[in-house]
Chains A and B, each alone.
Chain A
């Protein structure tokens, strides 16, 4: 297995990093869509995220990675067990939070789960083998080149992300299990647009650009070259920095419940959304949630303007009422609206 490039060693790309960290702190914020040019390190950043995520409790022996704290979302085996017995009955263990790749060309049965072939062939038993969705439950599901994803898989994902439930019915196999995960997609807009319904599933969207200043570009190549030459040494060198970020994420996850959201911040969020002209209420909700996570990451006790301002572009960029006649990049539109609101 090829080593994973350390998150801390990624040069620049602050927006991308912050958006991913926000999703790591508050998974309820919704997925992250990363769109940008080739060779900007989109997938490098997403893959590096896995190393920063804390462990989380899962039910011991559960094939679907059920989370014990969430009785609304337990699989067919864990749910009755949770009801009948005291909480002690559900033994849990700490498991790493998964970042699961949904590779292009994946077949549907591998995604939703299917018959366990080995057992079926050797013993003639019908057993269900969980798929990628079960593995991603409680963590992240990453789709590189998301705009090249086959349509029938997109439909399937839309369904699962809306319901938080994966249902498989086939020839006497009937399985339903919770499948809640943060969808992370990356792609190049040159390959085509994303279906609006899928776009909607992403809470945050980041536009990744190539750095234009020479020192940054040189540092990107320098570090990448060093990593490629000796991945172990490089990873070792960055492990302390990576550990710092991991701790920050863990601390923010603990702190987020106590981060205050004053009425003024909510008013501000509404004001921003109106100025930007974002569709629906989803914008406000995501904006506040993301700002809260950003505050937690910075160790602040309450959501303030600076947090809102920082996350507004990610939270709103893809929610603008579509006015295709407007030549201006939607990120720029958000920036302009922000400048108006904050009187900068």
Chain B
């Protein structure tokens, strides 16, 4: 699969295929690839960039202040979405885009137009564009799923050499564009793409639909009037494989093994479909070719799944259906917590409110003629200021509210008490969350057991996600308390960076027996706890230790002292009491 082909497909039907998502760090190779892909677009096709934290005025368009005052009638500016009509919308650092921005882009992609209701007028402007999303996410960052769902082609770009015959490819793309509408996709091919999408865990209907369109575009590119297995393979590799959330059930594997040796040498992929070249193929046509097609598509997906993704699937990290990969504090939470500017609204200029100057002027603009007239009627003849602004015009900046508090539970999941404690913590997490959407608080969960600590739930507000992720909590094993503290610190620091106030709640009896290095031994473990506690304490986060042992003892109390945390014995804690106690503590 060459990157050049992905670029060509993108350029054939940017809007229809949703666009191209390019994974990889910024590099000369990536720049070259982007330039190459954009260069294949038709002459004069607009290319617009969407900077991170773009304003609605720029994105959707709005009242052009100067133009309006000058012309004496409302003059609207077009936003970048409308400007990109017929071309491409480039999203650098797509993983950093706020969910609000993504939602607006997604809405425009769905309708093929900008539908907006802003200041001067209701706007309906055509906006058919392909998104070129540059995804530089590392670790647990992710491009918002609403966007990845709609952008058809996903590629990774580490290296890229522009093909020599660019001009010829450009011509081929133009020819394919003209031919696209005439290309048929046979029904069995469509069916197999849908089935493959399901087999790899893709719930949304969009990837399958986009795969069908990519197959069509690929057939057009190769000059076919009907899509064949090869086209399905390309579509599977570019659309389905990069999104795979799981591998198809294992029972298919043995079949495969039986088939392969009997049909050696491997027939060319489209031979089975054409039912010609392969002499050894049984003549029971239809049935066989369907089976072949299925294997061809499934294999194509399997073969094209990137290694790192495969590893994650193997670890079961992605098999949390529905939402798919949604990392720590998915974009939504992040921007919200930072108090991102989110437009302006009418309001009074009280302390704390910040004037949105441009919006204020915009609000004042339409009234100028009226006010001048009234001024004249009142007999004022002195020079009027260039713009008459009144209190009603004041617009103040709106910021997405920050999360007030992020309560992070750090739960001792070791030994026999694990299940009970985990259940309590789980209950408390949910009980706290139930009140969260009123207060915009967040709740997270860390468990430590065996040899290490694990972040089971990054601070979040979504009950849905919590329910899904808490459904299975592991328990048992040793007590790596120091690891728990260390991870708690890390998570708390991350949380604080995002603008929330972390509150740590440790649920443990304080008896550590596994050190930071995962080795057993009480003495070493205790020394590690002491060190880890010191670093955490130094950061000054609010924390409490809930002693969950049957007979509250000195160990948990000592831990509380080391952490500078409040100590609370709660031997018979139930979820509700726990939640109340935590709430009282967090204030």
Contacts and interface: CB of A to CB of B under 8 A. Distances in A.
Interface stretch (B33-41, B272-280, B338-346): B338-346
Contacts of A126: 370
B119 A222 contact: no
A232 interface: no
Interface in B93-150: 99-100, 103-104, 107, 110-113, 115-120, 122, 124, 145-146, 149
B461 interface: yes
Contacts of B209: 221, 224-225, 228
A122 B72 contact: yes
Contacts of A214: 191, 194-195, 198
Interface string A174-200: 000000000000001111111110000
Contact of B100 (A37, A41, A148): A148
Interface stretch (B20-28, B379-387, B432-440, B527-535): B432-440
Contact of B118 (A107, A115, A190, A192): A107
Interface residues of B, number: 86
Interface string A228-247: 11000000000000000000
A174 to B, nearest CB: 13
Interface string A126-139: 10000110000000
Contacts of A325: 427, 430-431, 575
B192 to A, nearest CB: 9
A81 interface: no
A160 to B, nearest CB: 15
B60 interface: yes
Given A117-B366, A148-B100, A325-B427, A106 B208 contact: no
B104 A218 contact: no
A191 B116 contact: no
Contacts of A188: 146
A38 B145 contact: yes
A26 to B, nearest CB: 28
Given A102-B117, A106-B116, A125-B370, A193 B437 contact: yes
A263 interface: no
A122 B462 contact: no
Contacts of A222: 187, 190
Contacts of A14: none
Contacts of B431: 324-325
A167 to B, nearest CB: 14
Nearest to B346: A108
Interface in B451-478: 461-465, 467, 471
A121 B74 contact: yes
Interface of B: 16, 56, 59-60, 63, 68, 72-74, 99-100, 103-104, 107, 110-113, 115-120, 122, 124, 145-146, 149, 181, 185, 187, 190-191, 193-195, 197-198, 203-209, 212-213, 322-323, 326, 330, 332, 342-343, 345-346, 363, 365-370, 372-373, 390, 392, 398, 401, 427, 430-431, 433-434, 436-438, 461-465, 467, 471, 575
Interface of A: 1-2, 37-41, 43, 101-111, 115, 117-118, 120-126, 131-132, 144-145, 148, 150-152, 170-171, 188-196, 210, 212, 214, 217-218, 220-222, 224-225, 228-229, 322, 324-325, 327
